[in-house]
Chain A
Amino acid sequence: MTGAGEILLRAEGLRKSFGGVQAVRDISLDITGGTVFAVIGPNGAGKSTLLNLMSGIYQPDAGKLTFSGVDMIGMPSHRRVRHGLARTFQKIRLFKQLSVLENVLAGFHLHHQIPPWQYILHGAAFRRDRERCRDDAANLLAFVGLKPRAHVPAGSLSYGEQRMLEVARALATAPRLLMIDEPAAGLNAAEVEALLGRIVALRARGMTVVMVEHNMDLVMRIADRILVMDYGQHLFEGTPADVQAHPGVIAAYLGAEVR
């Protein structure tokens, strides 16, 4: 994958407020390709809003945002997917009535290789595409451990399984940068370990991962860099070791959980 070691995503002075609430104030960051970048901070710190700004769900009030050199400001979220940005949602947003497999298949939206007329007269190219999508989907489901559940409705999965399905669906878009919002929320210890293994595997393949997470153990073990946010502001940024050593951060946020 391209961009390993280079700056893949760059934000400068991002701001967003809702009515009176300044959810994100003046956040700047550089995310290096092929790394795991974690965003932590107390509830309401603006982490999800930052992710929403990066994925295009919201447009910032001010600031710049580029992804592999392309200006992202003003670009709707569905266009950003074409450039290689994918995401999961903190409040799970699966297609609940559809099967697990169908959820992943929907993720191939941008990658079909079917001549237009074959949408109506299904021919050889159509069947090849269907097979390829099914194989890829099966691989993705195997990766997140959901292959045996392919044909049940997504809404009937356990909470942890639903989070993993969101990851598989996002990966189906073949992203270069994957944003995951609290992937470990509601997971049991074994599931967290599996999740950790999967993120490591993705990074090993060159994927860049941005992760918002409250599970400090997971963050400290896996993140290459950590951004600490508080009240929408940039509090500190550094490696896990830096963060653990920073007195302000410990006081503001980590205190209770580290001890």
Chain B
Amino acid sequence: MLTVVLQQGINGIVVGSLYVLVALGLTLIYGVLVQINFAHADIVTVGAFVAYFVTHWLSGNYFAGIAAALAVGAVFGWLMNAAIFAPLRDRGNELLPLIATIGVSIMLQNAMLVLLGPIPYAFNTPYSNEVIRLGGTFLTVQNALIIIVSTITIVLLYAFMKFTFLGKALRAVSQDRETAGLMGINPNYVIMLTFVIASALAGMGGAMLGPVLVLTPFAGTSVIVKAFAIVIIGGFGNVEGTIIAGLIVGLIESYTTQFLDPGWIDIVVFALLLLTLAVRPTGLVAERREENV
């Protein structure tokens, strides 16, 4: 029994750390722009497929696959900003960009459906079948890799935000765009950069989720829905909260699968989401901010 709990704990952390990668991107974008990119998770799917094909073409070089997914994600991020968010920024309607990205999401999913078909792809990396045993529990090398890579990425991102000039600029813009502009930071550049970083993370997250997920063109939908839950539970724009909430959701997912039924995952996660909204509308960790009138 204890080993089952431990084993599911490990699985939960594996999935959770990937959700963190995806949700961090959403949170970063929300932080600087107060906008939601609904197509974010479709970049995850695109990343997964890019990694799949690159890994297969290069006869099993999974790291090349991850790198390619990261690059493609970055390009998508740049495109999303240039084509959707930048033109709509000054329309004064906060819902229009969200609606436009819902359109992009439908478009991407169904374009992939036409190109790749609905049958799930079996994405096996060279590391999927190597197993590390720890006591009664085990961990595939693939999953160990996921934990290591996402931890390193999250730490690097955190350090970037805290210690580099660009990271500070990013935080300055998220706090007050006008003042940041006065400080000589070009907000447009920072926003573009945020999209590129966020989407690169999503692409990379996809490359690592690919082997874990049921890889179809619609894989993104199940991910985005959880990523939204994570950013709300963690408090939109709050990096620490997102990390904690991501791990919680990962754990909920694996324990629900073990002890209830996989069909209940979304129900439990969203019950938690609604509960959070009812109790603490700005998220579990975020402080309350009053609109400046």
A and B physically associate: yes
A-side residues, CB < 8 A to B, are 18, 48, 52, 57-58, 89, 91, 93, 96
Contact of A96 among B92, B290, B293 (CB under 8 A): B92
Known: A89-B293, A91-B293. 5 other contacts (CB 8 A): A18-B290, A52-B293, A57-B293, A93-B293, A96-B92
CA distance A48 to B291 in the complex (A): 13
A89 and B290 alpha carbons, distance in the complex (Å): 16
Q: How far apart sit A58 and B293, CA to CA, in the bound complex (Å)?
A: 10
Closest to A49 in B: B293
Neighbour of B290 across the interface among A58, A91, A93, CB < 8 A: A58
Please determine whether B290 and A48 come into contact, CB atoms closer than 8 angstroms.
no
In the bound complex, how far is the Cα of B91 from the Cα of A96, in angstroms? Answer: 12
Q: Cα distance A189–B290 when bound, in Å?
A: 35
- A91→B293 CA distance, assembly (Å): 7
A16's nearest neighbour on chain B, judged by CB, is B290
Provide the B89-118 mask, 1 if CB < 8 A to any CB of A, else 0.
000100000000000000000000000000
Total contacting residues, chain B, CB less than 8 A: 3
User: Majority SS of interface residues in chain B?
Assistant: loop
Q: Which residues of B contact A18 (CB under 8 A)?
A: 290
Contact sample, A vs B, 5 pairs, CB 8 Å cutoff: A52-B293, A89-B293, A91-B293, A93-B293, A96-B92
Contacts of B290 in A (CB 8 A): 18, 58
Q: Find chain A residues with CB under 8 A from B92 CB.
A: 96
Partner-A contacts on B (CB < 8 A): 92, 290, 293
The minimal Cβ–Cβ distance linking A56 to chain B, given in whole angstroms, is 11
Which B residues are CB-close (under 8 A) to A96?
A: 92
B92 — nearest CB in chain A belongs to which residue? A96
Residue of A nearest to B293 (CB): A57
Min CB distance A93 to B, Å, is 8
Q: For residue A93, which residues in chain B have a CB less than 8 angstroms away from its CB?
A: 293
- A48 and B290 alpha carbons, distance in the complex (Å): 14
> Closest Cβ of chain A: how far from B287's Cβ, in Å?
8
Q: How far is the CA of A52 from the CA of B92 in the complex (A)?
A: 24
Task: State the 5 A-B residue pairs at the shortest beta-carbon distance, nearest first.
Answer: A57-B293, A52-B293, A58-B290, A89-B293, A18-B290
Shortest distance from the beta carbon of B82 to any chain A beta carbon, whole Å: 27
Complex interface: chain B residues within 8 A of A58 (CB): 290
Q: How far is the CA of A57 from the CA of B290 in the complex (A)?
A: 9
A91 to B290, alpha carbons, bound, how many Å?
16
- When chains A and B are docked, how far (Å) is the Cα of A14 from the Cα of B206? 53
Closest to B287 in A: A19
A181 nearest in chain B by CB position: B293
A241 to nearest B CB, angstroms? 33
B95 nearest CB across to chain A (Å): 13
Q: How far is the CA of A52 from the CA of B290 in the complex (A)?
A: 12
B282 to chain A, nearest CB (A): 14
A108 → chain B closest CB, angstroms = 23
Q: Shortest CB–CB separation between residue A168 and chain B, in angstroms? A: 20
Cα separation A187 to B293 with both chains bound (whole Å): 21
Q: Please, which residues of chain B bring their CB within 8 A of the CB of A91?
A: 293
Complex Cα spacing A104 to B195, Å:
41
Q: Which residues of B contact A89 (CB under 8 A)?
A: 293
- Which residues in B have their C-beta under 8 angstroms from that of A52? 293
Residue of B nearest to A89 (CB): B293
| Cα distance, A216 to B290, chains bound together (Å) | 31
> A181 to chain B: closest CB distance in Å?
9
Minimum distance in angstroms from A57 CB to a CB of chain B: 5
A96 to B90, CA, bound (A): 14
> What CA separation (Å) do A70 and B58 show in the bound complex?
77
* CA gap between A89 and B291 in the complex, in Å: 13
CB distance from A61 to the nearest CB of B (A): 12
- Tell me the bound Cα distance from A93 to B291 in angstroms: 13
Contacting residues, chain A, for B293 (C-beta < 8 A): 48, 52, 57, 89, 91, 93
In the complex formed, the residue of A with least CB distance to B93 is A97
Q: How far is the CA of A96 from the CA of B290 in the complex (A)?
A: 23
A247 to B92, CA, bound (A): 46
**Min CB gap A40→B, angstroms:** 20
**Closest beta carbon of chain B to A154's beta carbon, Å:** 13
Of all chain B residues, the one with the shortest Cβ separation from A155 is B92
A93 to B293, CA, bound (A): 9
Cα(A67)–Cα(B290), bound, Å: 24
Question: Shortest CB–CB separation between residue B286 and chain A, in angstroms?
Answer: 13
